Structures are given as C-alpha cells and as structure tokens.
Amino acid sequence: MADLQPLLTLRYDPSVVGPLEDVIAPPYDVIDAELRARLAARSPYNVVEIDLPESYEGAAATLADWRAKGALLDEEEPAVWALRQDYLAPDGERRRRTGVLARVRVEEYGPGRIRPHERTHPGPREDRLKLTRATRTNLSPSSACSATRTASPGARSSRSPVASRSPRRPTSTAPRTRSGARPTRTWWPSCRWRSRTPSC
C-alpha cells in the first residue's frame, strides 16, 4: 500500500481574488496563447500567471506578491484534501470521480505500489522542474487512479463524512475539466474539503 500523508497547501482566498471560476484554469499543457490571454483577462490572479509564466523568475515573484497581498493563504497545518470532480466524458456521459490530495512517498517501481506516469517528453519535465525550483511550490500535482473501489486509503477517504459534506468552494474549470526539487508547499486552487488525518 502506498504511504499517503497530509501535506501543507496554499489556497486562494475568495474574499481577495473573487470567484474561483475566474482564477482557475485547465492543465498548462492544453493552453495555447489565445486561451492563455483569455484566462489572464479574467482576473489578475488567474493561475496561468504562475503555472504558464513568461519566465520562471516572474512566476516566483508573482507567487510571492500574491501571498503578500493575501490572495493566497498558507494552511497552518498539514491536511489531506478530498476532491470531487463532475465532468463530461468523451462518450457524452456525465461522470464523477472522487479522490484525495496528499503526499505520497516516492519509491522504486518494483514493489508495485507506485506505477509510472504516462510517457512524457524531456522538455516538459525540465520545464516543470525549473518552475518547481523557482517557486519552491508544487504547481502540478500528479493524478493517480486506484485499481480498487474499496481497499485504498484514497477510496475510503473520498467517501468519508468529510467528503460527504457540501464542498467548501464548488468550482468549474473551463473550457475543459480536468523531480529533484523539494517544494515547501503544494498549491491546489480548487480544493473542496480537508481533514487533518489521512483516515479522515
């Protein structure tokens, strides 16, 4: 079983940035120049200013500025966040997936607890590594799927009383739903629920 632990996170403060729909964005690698411009025009705090920046140094400076202005809040204690996403599947059906945002111990693939990510190219890997080192923040958490609906901690946590409550901040991502560095925080702009213990 993978070793999941709570983590320290950054999150938007809606009282400063306004509606979360204006500050979130699709994954960086599906955003072209035209879409980036539209997203940036929605809000001066849109995540593309950091996740798809003009320079790594600029991303670090912007992140520091947003934290200083209170647009981003540092959670004081590590936590596991439950996430629920409703989306339109390629076959046209509306579906829902639930999961958790947490730290997972890095280990060799051999034991079979952690499986490789999809095949990626060296350029994007280097880009994300440089951005992580510049901002000291994990801006691109990886998604993982569990092969079972009942046995994994993530599956249990996502169906716990914590996740059964109404979301703290329901959001939608438009137009699509969706390391050698040591980051100090993980930023998950559209987190829903939190628990201080992995068991929720």
Structure confidence by residue, pLDDT tens digits, 41-100: 999 999 999 999 999 999 999 999 999 999 999 888 888 888 777 888 889 899 888 888
Domain span holding position 171: 4-139+147-195
Residue 111 pLDDT: 66
Residue 194 pLDDT: 45
Q: 70 lies in a domain?
A: yes
Q: Report CA dihedral (169, 67, 195, 76) to the nearest 10 degrees.
A: -150
pTM over 0.75: no
Q: 200 lies in a domain?
A: no
Question: Considering only 37-41, 103-107, 182-186, which range has the smallest mean pLDDT?
Answer: 182-186
How many structural domains compose the chain? Answer: 1
CA distance to 50, 101, 189, per residue, from 165 (Å): 31, 17, 19
Is the omega angle on the peptide bond into residue 175 within 30 degrees of 0, that is, cis? yes
Q: 162 lies in a domain?
A: yes
Is the per-residue pLDDT at 181 higher than 80?
no
Q: With residue 37 as reference, give the H or E element that holds it.
A: helix 33-42
